[in-house]
């Protein structure tokens, strides 16, 4: 086991939707032991920039933070993020910088300018039947970690896909703007090495946490308070005690925070077999994907 240096375990359900404030963002945190995870600022409708400020200024010490977004794009399959584009970045941090630079005039960490960029857009599937020539067809391009998720029974989506209720492309791209602005404040594993002390941000996929809590991949979303408490109990957590309907953004954050508490000290999850130095620098990885 990794020495139990993490004292807090936070999960952020993220959103790439248009606008400033979003029902789809939820932040939950728990400490060591068995106490139930709690929402940060319950009832508050977060903006993406407020999440950035919370991470930079208010995050408790020694926290592992899981963010439900893709921290990079597929690279390994074609040897580049954007094959054929001279400005295609060499690694994930350069990708974050490129996205943030192209979108610098957009408020709320939005990414419209990037997905509509004349070079970048050729690689995305966008609304209105607009599929770029480089999208690749089918379900799109996948990172190595997303193939690992698939082998676990999950149904990942390509971060190049921006269409459909389950798409994660825009949330991932907006998250990359946040990660670029977070540099110097928090390391992002595995693009940055796991630090020997202090806090760290990692990518999570809430379905993996739900499966660990006894749910199937197809029934990963929890929308009833009693089912939320059942899932938390499977993770050794006290109940939250919410009655009736619960939105799945809230339940995703609460369950994933409790799950992180149970697994964050497992060294195998910080060193998955498929993670190479090249993949770490370019595509990153999803914590919990093995």
Going by pLDDT thresholds of 50, 70 and 90, the confidence category of residue 3 is low
**Pairing state between β 200-203 and 188-189:** parallel
Q: What is the mean pLDDT of residues 265-287?
A: 97
The residues, any chain, with a CB within 8 Å of residue 107's CB and separated by 6 or more, are 20
Domain boundaries defined on the chain = 92-181
Question: Terminus-to-terminus CA distance in the chain, angstroms?
Answer: 17
| pTM for the model | 0.96
pLDDT tens, position by position, 102-139: 999 999 999 999 999 999 999 999 988 787 778 888 88
Which token pair is 173? Answer: 């791209």
Going by pLDDT thresholds of 50, 70 and 90, the confidence category of residue 100 is very high
Which token pair is 31? Answer: 């400490």
pLDDT at 64: 98
Say yes or no to pLDDT of 1 above 60.
Answer: no
pLDDT tens, position by position, 43-86: 999 999 999 999 999 999 999 999 999 999 999 999 999 999 99
Say yes or no to pLDDT of 263 above 80.
Answer: yes
């Amino acid at each position: 086991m990794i020495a139990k240096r993490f004292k807090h375990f936070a999960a952020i359900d993220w959103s790439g939707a248009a606008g400033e404030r979003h029902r789809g963002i939820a932040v939950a945190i728990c400490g060591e032991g068995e106490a139930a995870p709690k929402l940060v600022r319950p009832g508050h409708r977060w903006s993406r920039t407020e999440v950035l400020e919370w991470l930079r200024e208010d995050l408790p010490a020694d926290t592992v933070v899981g963010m439900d977004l893709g921290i990079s794009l597929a690279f390994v399959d074609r040897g580049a993020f954007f094959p054929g584009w001279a400005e295609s970045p060499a690694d994930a941090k350069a990708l974050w910088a490129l996205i943030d630079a192209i979108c610098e005039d957009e408020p709320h960490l939005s990414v419209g300018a990037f997905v509509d960029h004349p070079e970048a857009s050729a690689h995305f599937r966008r609304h209105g039947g607009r599929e770029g020539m480089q999208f690749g067809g089918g379900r799109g391009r996948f990172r190595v970690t997303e193939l690992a998720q698939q082998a676990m029974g999950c149904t990942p989506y390509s971060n190049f896909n921006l269409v459909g209720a389950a798409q994660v492309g825009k949330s991932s791209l907006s998250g990359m703007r946040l990660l670029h602005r977070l540099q110097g404040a928090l390391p992002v594993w595995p693009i940055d090495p796991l630090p020997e002390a202090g806090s760290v941000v990692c990518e999570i996929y809430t379905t993996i946490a739900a499966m660990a809590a006894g749910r199937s991949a197809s029934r990963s979303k929890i929308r009833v308070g009693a089912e939320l408490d059942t899932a938390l109990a499977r993770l050794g957590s006290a109940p939250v005690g919410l009655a009736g309907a619960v939105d799945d953004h809230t339940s995703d954050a609460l369950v994933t925070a409790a799950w992180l508490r149970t697994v964050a000290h497992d060294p195998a999850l910080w060193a998955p077999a498929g993670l190479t130095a090249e993949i770490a620098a370019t595509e990153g990885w999803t914590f919990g994907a093995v």
